[in-house]
Structure 1
Amino acid sequence: MVILLLGILLGILSVNALFAQEQAISVYVQGKLVNEKNEPMSFGTAVLYSLPDSVFTKGALADADGNFEFDAVLNGTYYVEGSYLGYSKLHSAAFSVNQSTENGHIVLPTLQMQPETVGLQEVTVTYKKPLVEMQADKMVVNVESSAIAQSGSALDVLRRSPGVTVNQQQEISLKGKQGVLVMVDDKPTQLTHEQLGVMLQSLPANTIDRVEIIANPSAKYDAAGNAGIINIRLKKNKNTGINGSASANAGYGWNPVFGTNLNLNYRNEKVNLFGNYGYTDRKRGNDNYFRRFVELPGDSLVFDQNFYQLYHNQTHTLKTGADWFVTPKTTVGVLFNGQFDLANTDIDNHIALDGFNKEGYTDVKANTDIRNNWKNTTYNLNLKHQLNPDGSALNVDLDYAAYRITENSHLNNRYLNMEQEVLPPYLLRSNNNSNVNIAAAKADYSRPLKNKAMLETGVKSSYVWIDNGIFFETQAENGIWLPDAGKNNDFRFTENINAAYVNYSQQVGKWAIQAGLRAEQTNNRGNSVTLNRTERQNYLSLFPSANVSYTLNDKNQLAFAYSRRIDRPGYTDLNPFTVYIDQFTSGRGNPFLKPQFTHSVSLSHTYADMINTSVSYSRTTDALGDMIVQSDTTRNAYQIPSNFDHFDNASVTVSAPIPVTKWWNAQLSLNGFYSRYQSVYLNQTINNSQFTGMIYLANNITLPKNFSVEVAAEYHSPLIWGIYHVKSNYSADLGISKSFGNGSNLKFSLTDVFNTNIDRITINDNNLRLNGNFKNETRVATLTYTCKFGNSQVQNARRRSTATDDERSRVKGQ
């Protein structure tokens, strides 16, 4: 309650400040950039700074004639900085905006820039980006701008991003929609949500530059991801020289966490070499309880289950590559990504049975030890070639990715009555080996056309082959381990996807138009050798997309977007093997899963480049989700991936940065969405719906002597995930940072200050009734120190996507 009152108070103050500023004078500032020959500096950069502290206010890109403009400039004194590659930065004379500004319009004298010369000294301006930026096609969360955001892991960053929800099973949703495609540097992560959770938990937040949330991707992107794309951009180093950074962090919640990271970059006129190494040693706990009811005529049984899971991950990540600038128009690059993880999971599970049990025991103590070794390597060879001076370009990527996953588990069930063993223990162990191989090639061509138009087209082909085997043994009373052939499974899967797309965009006066079409042909074959069962799927799908925006005036812009997208089942979701959590609970794959297709539309409005409001609707057919099936005979329950007939989602989102005072900035995000799942499954009707409200408020307070403080709070009302009903939840985070003159900084964070982040779920569908509380280790204090060295102006390494992006995001383990 305290944090809710704090959030309401800050929100009221923020909104009051916003409306107060609306009453202040605001003007339109216009200028022009030219070179030493008075020729326009097409697409040069102009930045507006306020005095006396040289605080970044607005940025603008000059048009083809060198003209730039800033709108909604408030009272104050400013100057403009012009910049262009190969030219020295140039500052305008200071000018003032006040009540006497004539006609609310200022035209600056032309800024004539000069070629860069050796020895010319520049004024260094420090600019801190806002935490959340609304851009034309995406929302950007600038992680480096927040001490809170830089604490913990990448998964923690997503939890704190507006509109994003991460449940205790580490499944990610966006505005209430599951099926988010998570990418790292434009490369999708082909993992189960469990494996993705492990990877994101082991990726330190302080290695992330920003997170891009793309609700309606264009045809250029793979069609996967019905809820959109979350693209995690890692930090890069900034025309010749060497630089780098090193960081170390330590934290404690229920368990300790430690991490280090080293980032290096070298560049000269012919080559750019870059590399990043990180190590994380993290223990994290998960304390859970659920009660499952089995009610039959004249008979009932209640399972009360408490289980504590302790995860210990030791993760090494390595990214290295090189770019060779063959000619001014041609660049050849190689890239290697590796992640090597040793993960131990210990589960202490106690099940109390209340009711009639013919076996004679009332308690089961189940202990499970899981040892996991995960190796993921990706190799990329790429070419970028500028074909013509007009900017036409060809990009080619060749990729190979390999996942090698081994998992050994040991399950020990003991059956008790009044603490006395009444049956021999049930001992089960398994060995699981999963080999996933992905090969892909893609080519993208772009060409600027007349009248501010752009044409993009490309092709892609990928081939995936998987060999997945699991072998079970049970221990006999004499201590001998014997094969349990009824549980063993050998599954093999192959898939070929061929795709082509075309995308056209153009600026016509106040209109901006983008339209595209993508075609994907899918051929796959799943073969369960153990069950002698083969399933094939062959289909061709078209994925249109469109985005139209219109600038009403200097303060208002409208945009409409439409897209059709697909989510294919995870590779091993199609594998019909069974994984045991305990004797009564298991999970299994489903070889009959179909892909889900989603139509999405949205309408958005942007005011003064600050306040963004959007309304969206989507309908998904054959929606992928998990079902829990309970046997009235054995009373056991198993979870199985399934298709819901329909999933509908309608949402309204409002986001605004709010400058409360000169030293206090806030970011407010409001999101409301209605979700509805409808299906008939095993002759039973499912009809779940829920309206959910989400509030996110982040406050950044600048203090003297390079200190800053952040306070962030979030709340969501009840929501649904398929058959799961999740109760309301709220949490708050605190961060303090100190910057030093040598480029280093020290940051402290405390996440989930009041330890209130708990998932409370219920299921009440047909013959299944279940209540549960799931509590992750979310209150963690972390201290992080980062230092930078070398030439701070070394240009960034190229960002590029690879050909295996979509396929890698579907790799799943057991």
Structure 2
Amino acid sequence: MQQTIRKFLFLCSFVPLAASSIEAQTIIKGYVSDEQQKPAGFATVRLAKTSDSTLVKTTLTSVDGNFFFEEVQSGTYLVTVEWIGYHKSVSNPFSLTIGNKEITLKNILLQPETKLLNTVNINGKKPLIETKGGKTILNVGSSILSAGNSALEILSKAPGVTVDREGNISLKGKSGVNVMINGKLTYLSAAQLATLLRSTEGNTIETIELMSSPPATYDASGSGGIINIKLKKNSNYGTNGTVTAGTGYGKFYKNNTGINFNHRTKNLNVFGSYTYTNDKEYQDLDLERSTKASNETTYFSQQGRNITKLQNNNYRAGLDYTINKKNTIGLLFNGYINNNTSNNENKTWIGNQPSKTDSSILAENTGKASFKNQSYNLNYKSVLDTSGQELSADADYSQFRSNSQTVYNNYFYNNLGQSFKTPVIYRNATPSTVKIWSGKLDYTIPFTAKTKLETGLKSSFVQTDNDFQFEDFQFNTWKNDPSRSNRFIYKENVNAAYANLNTEFNSTSLQVGLRTELTHSEGNSPTLQQIVKRNYTDLFPNLSLSQKLSDQNDIGFSYSRRIDRPDYQSLNPFLYFNDLYTYAQGNPLLNPQYTNSFEFSYSYKKILNATLGYSHTRDVITTTLITDTIKKTILIKDQNLAAQNLYNLNVSMPLTITKWWNTTNTITLFYRSFSSPDLMGASFHSGKTSYLLNTTQSFTITPTINAELSMNYQSAQVYGTYAVKPLYNMDMGLSKSFAGNRANIKVAANDVFNFMKARISSAIPGQDYQLIQKEETRVFRITFSYNFGSSLIKAVATHVNASDTEQKRVKSGN
């Protein structure tokens, strides 16, 4: 591959040199301005042949709007100009002949995509759902229901997306989805990712991108695809920003506030944001189960309520500096400081017959936790030449610190409600530190205007240190229990290289890529004197092909192979107690899971979009509930099942009923099955056909008043060893803009009829439990936002960090 590229570049450099010996070369000059005749600085200018649109050269305008091309051969050309916030401009064709030494083009005037009204940009309203370049894009920036809601609440109602009670996200029925924010993976476990998304305000989100088959430029992790949440950015020149404040009430009061700002000059952009959330919420639990040992059956009936208080502080600051028109450097710092407290009261009734109580346990558990994260990014981008070659580099360092402390108080009563046993009191602390170093280098080679090669290297190193401390309360003092305390140290190094080719010919687009990743990991439990080492190398090919059949019909096909490595905490052999009969444990022997996915797509008028897919996952990582008939306990543990097969069909269609009523409707139909030759001593197979329905109705009441109605339905599903009953809800919202559209008030009600309730049972034959979880889903909110500052549009740089897969697997909390 390297020799081929070198030969190609040599030929490309030789041809123009040979031509220059035959005929004279010409310099082309020009000037670009906006609608106010002001210079358009740093606009992209391309020189192409009129015969076949072949790209000849690319450059950027200077600060004063001027541009020039040197060493141009004779021929017929045209110039195109693109500048963020303005329509693309194409010049008239012009000819160069032998003897011309210099030619000056007519001034190029750009027209804005937006109109200024009282210095505020008024844009045409985007459809709620768009399909572009293999992505499904949700434009939630102007959605009423996004205000006051968290990112997790919005994501759980996105078409084809489901979120289970542990925070695991599935896309079109496929689990193992990686979540990115502004192009950077979050590096958190499922539970802690859910916490982060709950603390991310919905009114800060611009779009959500759903990618079921990402190209090789992305990390290979995420067998279910990638969801990229893009936060709102103020791209205006000068000093500007947005302030927000909101409050809500369900069972308890909630409030949030935030600000984001940026200050932009010709060469420097400084930006930052801060959000604060103060939330109090509850979760009710009802669990009915039985265990059978020999001829004896024991019945458990458990009811509990957990009340949690959350205080989340998220912050972000950075700068971009344009050294010259070809080189840019950037710095980014972000993090969070979050604290929560919880009070969990559970009552468990135990008997040898249903509804008969022989004894009971009252568990009063109190906890507190703190989570801190700091991440640093240094990035550099260089445009190497006028042909469009680009080189970019990123260096990242992230550190996560967390400490959770929980005290468990267990009181025992007989069938008369009298205390008959000494209380069992214990506590645990789980201090944890995760450090991530990573770096990446990306290089883009445009062969022609329609063909480019993207290549890159990445290396990451992760080190985690978890110290689990268990203590019993005996004789009025706390004593360490070494049999239940443990320390776990994990190290992982992943080195990757990729190549991705994009090309277009006639009405066909082709993207083909290959990524290779070399992984070395070591899990060490000094307490258990147990070390698990792994070394493996994998290849991850992907292919995407699209064909334009006509102006109204497009078809496509994609294939990808991806991996999901266990999150760091799932490998930790700690034993976590919920109560005396329910606990969770890590599994250091977990293997990564591999998925091969195939997908066909069809689009009609860019309105009707349909996909038909199939995927097969080997060694699928699944959370299982295992009953111990001797101890009469339930163990929650991640295990590798043999395989998962998934077939899915997704159809979405936005409709305009009238000029004031628009609707977007999506249906996802899928069949998902799991199998294992040995689970709890027997072969296991589960499978079910399920469907998801999403509909959103948008109403324009007046130019400044809008309303929304959203309804979601999930049919019964089977996921691994869980059987889940249907879920459904309805949301409503109303918004009013004023003060020249700078200010906005949004009122929204989530789960208006309080229908959302998780009902789960076992999919394993012979295992008996029925679980009902009810969270605080019916919440009424009011949110105010105000935009301040200038409205002159300027381009914005985008940060993409190097440490993109590693942090998602951190179970350090948020």
Sort the TM-score into its range (normalised by shorter chain).
0.7 to 0.9
1:789 aligns with 788
1:577 is aligned, of 571, 574, 579, to 574
1:214 aligns with 211
Query: What is the correspondence of 1:420-439 to structure 2 with a 5 Å cutoff?
Result: 420-439=418-437
Q: For residues 203 and 66 of structure 1, do their structure 2 counterparts lie closer, same or farther at Cα, with a shift above 3 Å needed?
A: farther
Query: What is the correspondence of 1:504-543 to structure 2 with a 5 Å cutoff?
Result: 504-543=501-540
Note the C-alpha offset of 1:485. 1.1
What is the DSSP-based 3-state SS (H/G/I as helix, E as strand, rest coil) of the residue aligned with 1:144?
Answer: coil
**How many pairs align?**
724
Note the C-alpha offset of 1:151. 3.0
Per the normalisation by structure 1, the TM-score is 0.86
The question of 1:654 aligning with 2:648 is answered: no
2:691 aligns with 693
Note the C-alpha offset of 1:705. 4.7
The question of 1:237 aligning with 2:234 is answered: yes
2:96 aligns with none
The letter of the residue matching 2:669 is: G
Q: Which moved more, 1:718-727 or 1:593-602?
A: 718-727
Note the C-alpha offset of 1:683. 2.4
The letter of the residue matching 2:176 is: G
Q: Deviations over 1:725-752 (max 9, x none)?
A: 1111211110101111241111010011
1:727 aligns with 725
What is the DSSP-based 3-state SS (H/G/I as helix, E as strand, rest coil) of the residue aligned with 2:521?
Answer: strand
2:713 aligns with 715
2:442 is aligned, of 444, 465, 472, to 444
1:405 aligns with 402
The letter of the residue matching 2:708 is: E
The question of 1:469 aligning with 2:467 is answered: yes
Note the C-alpha offset of 1:169. 2.5
Q: Is the 8 A contact 1:667 1:698 kept in 2?
A: yes
What is the DSSP-based 3-state SS (H/G/I as helix, E as strand, rest coil) of the residue aligned with 2:642?
Answer: strand
What is the DSSP-based 3-state SS (H/G/I as helix, E as strand, rest coil) of the residue aligned with 1:802?
Answer: coil
The question of 1:227 aligning with 2:224 is answered: yes
Q: Is the 8 A contact 2:493 2:519 kept in 1?
A: yes
What is the DSSP-based 3-state SS (H/G/I as helix, E as strand, rest coil) of the residue aligned with 1:485?
Answer: coil
Q: For 1:336 and 1:764, locate their aligned partners in 2 and report how far apart those are by CA, in whole Å.
A: 45
Q: For 2:715 and 2:31, locate their aligned partners in 1 and report how far apart those are by CA, in whole Å.
A: 54
Note the C-alpha offset of 1:797. 3.5
Structure 2 unpaired stretches of 5+: 1-27, 36-44, 52-79, 91-105
Q: For 2:293 and 2:88, locate their aligned partners in 1 and report how far apart those are by CA, in whole Å.
A: 81
Q: Deviations over 1:411-467 (max 9, x none)?
A: 011111122111111101111110000000001111211251010000000000111
Q: For residues 771 and 659 of structure 1, do their structure 2 counterparts lie closer, same or farther at Cα, with a shift above 3 Å needed?
A: same
2:83 aligns with 85
Q: For 2:508 and 2:110, locate their aligned partners in 1 and report how far apart those are by CA, in whole Å.
A: 37
The letter of the residue matching 1:403 is: F
The question of 1:298 aligning with 2:295 is answered: yes
Note the C-alpha offset of 1:83. 8.7
Q: Is the 8 A contact 1:89 1:122 kept in 2?
A: no
Q: Is the 8 A contact 1:40 1:65 kept in 2?
A: no
Note the C-alpha offset of 1:348. 1.0
Q: For residues 628 and 87 of structure 1, do their structure 2 counterparts lie closer, same or farther at Cα, with a shift above 3 Å needed?
A: closer
2:543 aligns with 546
Query: What is the correspondence of 1:364-379 to structure 2 with a 5 Å cutoff?
Result: 364-379=361-376
Note the C-alpha offset of 1:794. 4.5
Q: For residues 812 and 125 of structure 1, do their structure 2 counterparts lie closer, same or farther at Cα, with a shift above 3 Å needed?
A: closer
Q: For residues 445 and 303 of structure 1, do their structure 2 counterparts lie closer, same or farther at Cα, with a shift above 3 Å needed?
A: same
1:633 aligns with 630
Q: For 1:122 and 1:393, locate their aligned partners in 2 and report how far apart those are by CA, in whole Å.
A: 34
Note the C-alpha offset of 1:706. 1.0
Note the C-alpha offset of 1:800. 2.2
1:590 is aligned, of 576, 579, 587, to 587
Note the C-alpha offset of 1:142. 1.1
What is the DSSP-based 3-state SS (H/G/I as helix, E as strand, rest coil) of the residue aligned with 1:806?
Answer: coil
Structure 1 unpaired stretches of 5+: 1-36, 46-60, 68-81, 93-111
Note the C-alpha offset of 1:310. 1.3
The share of aligned pairs that are identical, in percent, is: 34
Q: Is the 8 A contact 1:87 1:116 kept in 2?
A: no
Q: Is the 8 A contact 1:432 1:468 kept in 2?
A: yes
What is the alpha-carbon root mean square deviation over aligned residues? 2.6
Q: Deviations over 1:571-591 (max 9, x none)?
A: 121111100000000000001
Query: What is the correspondence of 1:664-703 to structure 2 with a 5 Å cutoff?
Result: 664-679=661-676, 680-703=678-701
2:808 aligns with 809
Q: For 2:312 and 2:50, locate their aligned partners in 1 and report how far apart those are by CA, in whole Å.
A: 49
Q: For 1:87 and 1:757, locate their aligned partners in 2 and report how far apart those are by CA, in whole Å.
A: 42
The letter of the residue matching 2:734 is: I
Q: For 2:785 and 2:237, locate their aligned partners in 1 and report how far apart those are by CA, in whole Å.
A: 23
1:183 aligns with 180
What is the DSSP-based 3-state SS (H/G/I as helix, E as strand, rest coil) of the residue aligned with 2:224?
Answer: coil
Q: For residues 116 and 669 of structure 1, do their structure 2 counterparts lie closer, same or farther at Cα, with a shift above 3 Å needed?
A: closer
The letter of the residue matching 2:721 is: I
Note the C-alpha offset of 1:149. 2.4
Q: For 2:715 and 2:318, locate their aligned partners in 1 and report how far apart those are by CA, in whole Å.
A: 45
The question of 1:126 aligning with 2:116 is answered: no
2:258 is aligned, of 257, 261, 264, to 261
The question of 1:165 aligning with 2:162 is answered: yes
The letter of the residue matching 1:475 is: F
1:381 aligns with 378
1:778 aligns with 777
The letter of the residue matching 2:589 is: F
Q: Is the 8 A contact 1:764 1:770 kept in 2?
A: no
Q: For 1:766 and 1:672, locate their aligned partners in 2 and report how far apart those are by CA, in whole Å.
A: 26
Note the C-alpha offset of 1:633. 1.0
Q: For residues 451 and 144 of structure 1, do their structure 2 counterparts lie closer, same or farther at Cα, with a shift above 3 Å needed?
A: closer
The question of 1:283 aligning with 2:271 is answered: no
The letter of the residue matching 1:187 is: K
Q: Deviations over 1:102-149 (max 9, x none)?
A: xxxxxxxxxx9843699x996865311111112221111111121012
1:309 is aligned, of 306, 311, 321, to 306
Query: What is the correspondence of 1:743-762 to structure 2 with a 5 Å cutoff?
Result: 743-762=742-761
Note the C-alpha offset of 1:361. 5.6
2:71 aligns with none
Q: For 1:520 and 1:91, locate their aligned partners in 2 and report how far apart those are by CA, in whole Å.
A: 42
1:203 aligns with 200
Q: Is the 8 A contact 1:406 1:434 kept in 2?
A: yes
Q: For residues 116 and 675 of structure 1, do their structure 2 counterparts lie closer, same or farther at Cα, with a shift above 3 Å needed?
A: closer
Note the C-alpha offset of 1:285. 1.1
What is the DSSP-based 3-state SS (H/G/I as helix, E as strand, rest coil) of the residue aligned with 2:430?
Answer: strand
Q: Is the 8 A contact 1:132 1:667 kept in 2?
A: yes
1:115 aligns with 109
The question of 1:458 aligning with 2:456 is answered: yes
1:493 is aligned, of 490, 493, 497, to 490
The letter of the residue matching 1:331 is: T
Q: For 2:412 and 2:85, locate their aligned partners in 1 and report how far apart those are by CA, in whole Å.
A: 78
What is the DSSP-based 3-state SS (H/G/I as helix, E as strand, rest coil) of the residue aligned with 1:672?
Answer: strand
Note the C-alpha offset of 1:766. 4.0
Q: For 2:321 and 2:369, locate their aligned partners in 1 and report how far apart those are by CA, in whole Å.
A: 38
Q: For 2:500 and 2:666, locate their aligned partners in 1 and report how far apart those are by CA, in whole Å.
A: 31
Note the C-alpha offset of 1:768. 2.0
Q: For 2:368 and 2:340, locate their aligned partners in 1 and report how far apart those are by CA, in whole Å.
A: 6
Q: Is the 8 A contact 1:151 1:784 kept in 2?
A: yes
Q: Deviations over 1:772-793 (max 9, x none)?
A: 1111111111100000011123
Q: For residues 611 and 64 of structure 1, do their structure 2 counterparts lie closer, same or farther at Cα, with a shift above 3 Å needed?
A: farther
Q: For residues 355 and 813 of structure 1, do their structure 2 counterparts lie closer, same or farther at Cα, with a shift above 3 Å needed?
A: farther
Q: Is the 8 A contact 1:236 1:796 kept in 2?
A: no
